[in-house]
A = this chain, B = another copy of it.
Amino acid sequence: MEFLKPLQTDLAVEARENIVEQTSAPISGLHVENDENDEDVTITRVTIDSDQAQQMVGKPKGIYVTVEAPGLRYKNTPLSAKVMNYVAQELAKLLHVSSDATILIVGLGNWNVTPDALGPRTIDKIVVTRHLDDLLSPELKGGVRRVCALAPGVLGLTGMETAEIIKGVVAEVKPQTVIAIDALAAASSSRVVTTIQLSTTGIHPGSGVGNKRFGLTEDSLGVPVIAIGVPTVVHASTIAMDTIHILQEHAAFARYFKSLETLSDQDQQKVIRQVLPDILGDMMVTPKEVDRMIDDIAVVVAGGINQALHPNIDYENIHMYLH
């Protein structure tokens, strides 16, 4: 197997595109299904179920569903509602829980760092119901899952790994499934705040905008973990790498860059590794309006979760169901 260029991204769909661009050989255990019936929204389902596919794509085995809607960059309520529905449908397919299950929603990330605040801001908008058991009217009892939610904060704020806190809470609250929400890094700026990824693999160390040292997975927590993520930053390395690609590919510069065509991947990586630490330090690349955009997409993610977990409720008026 030839050596393929890796790509720094938390999106399986980008990691897979990158591999496919570099090899024409079929990869066993890597399945892709596209759903483009809606002109505003593309749904892609990537399944990784072999060791080879896992290694080549660089993502753990599991199902990765991406709901992409470039229009989400602009405030557009009808589109948001539509994407919310798709997220609810896709989440419902990945969830295998009874109609009275307890579900714990965890919002990862740091509320003080805007592009890392997707998790906490989504938690804010989750309709929690676990504490209402005794208040719900009989006709609702069967149709409402017992939902609880927590945004514990990051290691630097709590002194505790998120995994430690959640492990403790899971032991006490005993949910059937955990849903973990996190801000991601993408390779392409066009996917920032326009793409929602759902996966059955949980959260893995090193992923997301913050630096995780421990994951939140079925292995570590003892219950299935569904991860929902939205890219809010692009890797700065993307800019450096794309600069090199433009130099290599563009006809207008051909006379200078003949030799660049043969620049080896290792040398290219060396450039990237040299450029970034010096220039960028702890910098991130993010949309100017990231604050508003994250608020908007948090509504979509939370709405999708609310709808998938309690399909029969009119959430806006949930207070009317309480007695």
Contacts and interface: CB of A to CB of B under 8 A. Distances in A.
Given A112-B291, A250-B274, A263-B256, A158 B164 contact: no
B169 A160 contact: yes
Interface residues of A, number: 89
A168 interface: yes
B286 A286 contact: yes
A155 interface: yes
A148 B250 CA distance: 46
A131 interface: yes
Contacts of A149: 157-159
A313 interface: no
Q: Select the residue from A131, A159, A240 with max chain B CB neighbours within 10 A.
A: A159
A167 interface: yes
A19 interface: no
Interface stretch (A44-52, A199-207, A276-284): A276-284
B259 A267 contact: no
Contacts of A253: 263, 267, 270-271
Most-contacted residue by chain B among A114, A150, A247, A250 (CB, 10 A): A247
Interface in A159-208: 159-161, 164-165, 167-173, 188-190, 192
A283 B75 contact: no
Contacts of A287: 281-284
Interface in A234-277: 234, 236, 238-240, 242-244, 246-247, 250, 252-253, 255-260, 262-263, 267, 270-271, 274-275
A96 interface: no
A172 B171 contact: yes
Nearest to A213: B131
A165 B159 contact: no
A26 interface: no
Contact of A113 (B267, B285, B289): B289
The CB with the most chain B CB atoms within 10 A, among A171, A239, A244, A246, is that of A239
15 contacts: A77-B316, A113-B290, A114-B291, A148-B158, A148-B159, A150-B158, A165-B168, A165-B172, A189-B279, A236-B239, A239-B240, A256-B260, A257-B260, A282-B289, A284-B286
Interface of A: 74-78, 112-114, 116, 123-124, 128-132, 146-153, 155-161, 164-165, 167-173, 188-190, 192, 234, 236, 238-240, 242-244, 246-247, 250, 252-253, 255-260, 262-263, 267, 270-271, 274-275, 278-292, 316-317, 319-320
